Amino acid sequence: MILAAVVAAWFVIAGVAKLLPTQAAGRRAVTVDPTWLLVARRVRGVLEVLGGLAVAAGGAVTVLDLRIPFPGLAIGLALSALAGWTVAEGFRSPIRPVRLGLAILGFALAVFFAGFRD
């Protein structure tokens, strides 16, 4: 249950962060990301928020001991794929070590969560 709560919070927060507009940094900073990449990032953010909410719902089902089937493995694998995409995006130039480390941590959480499902 604690793992589900941590994974749910992680992916809801990470998804909301992807939905926020990116800020250009520096005096001469220019956003050079193509439009399709920005759209893909926002779609991924929406999917991460929905996945986090699904994990939270699954945790509630477990705590309440309801007999509702919950596809925890499928949701865990989907979140792993989304987190893997974030890790791959973290290797783009310029590489930001903190962002890459957080992406790897999110991937590890999703894989760990999927490993404990059915």
Q: Is the sign of the CA dihedral 95, 101, 103, 108 positive or negative?
A: positive
CA distance 20 to 48: 13
pLDDT at 66: 87
How much is the pLDDT for 47?
95
What are 54-93's pLDDT values in tens digits?
999 988 988 898 888 888 889 989 999 999 998 998 888 7
pLDDT single digits (tens) 84-118: 998 998 888 777 888 889 999 999 999 998 887 75
* Cα angle 4, 9, 14; round to 5: 130
CB 49 within 8 A of CB 73: no
